[in-house]
């Protein structure tokens, strides 16, 4: 599978999960050729949900049998590390803006309580 075919396959699989028009897939050029950046137009609730969604994306890619390259060495002492040649990103987390000051208490809310608070604030605005 060529890089262009891989990128089209990624977009197709991820749009099925996140919605049409919500996924942007870009291949790198030059010395970074083969790397792929995936931007998903979704604002996770917090960093934990963002990490869970990244895991879900990788599961979807594996289930679709789309091969993503690797970099580095499989040696724990390597200076280069080891990983996949993909970068998955989302919009800013919704809770990020409240992480400082007198609103920091919101990070201790459950997911359901956060959603309820968010709805209340939207109504008040």
* Contact (Cβ atoms closer than 8 angstroms) between residue 33 and residue 3: yes
Say if residue 90 is in the same domain as residue 64: yes
Say if residue 64 is in the same domain as residue 90: yes
- For residue 16, what is the enclosing H or E element? helix 3-18
What was the pLDDT predicted at 106? 61
Say if residue 29 is in the same domain as residue 61: yes
pLDDT digits (tens, 9 = 90+) for 55-104: 999 999 999 999 888 877 766 666 666 778 888 999 888 775 544 555 66
**64: containing domain:** 3-94
What was the pLDDT predicted at 9? 93
Say if residue 88 is in the same domain as residue 116: no
Please, which pLDDT band fits residue 44 given cuts at 50, 70 and 90?
A: confident
- State the average pLDDT for the chain: 82
Say if residue 76 is in the same domain as residue 112: no
Q: What is the CATH number of the domain that holds 29?
A: 3.30.300
Residues 6+ apart with CB under 8 A from 73: 80, 82
């Amino acid at each position: 599978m060529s890089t262009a075919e891989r990128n089209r396959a990624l977009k197709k699989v991820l749009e099925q999960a996140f919605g049409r028009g919500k996924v942007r897939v870009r291949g790198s050029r030059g010395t970074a050729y083969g790397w792929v950046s995936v931007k998903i137009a979704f604002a996770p609730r917090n960093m934990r949900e963002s990490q869970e969604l990244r895991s879900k994306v990788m599961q979807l890619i594996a289930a679709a049998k789309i091969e993503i390259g690797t970099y580095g060495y499989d040696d724990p002492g390597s200076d280069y590390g080891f990983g996949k040649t993909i970068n998955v990103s989302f919009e800013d987390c919704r809770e990020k803006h409240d992480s400082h000051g007198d609103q920091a208490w919101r990070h201790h809310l459950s997911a359901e309580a956060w959603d309820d608070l968010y709805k209340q604030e939207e109504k008040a605005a």
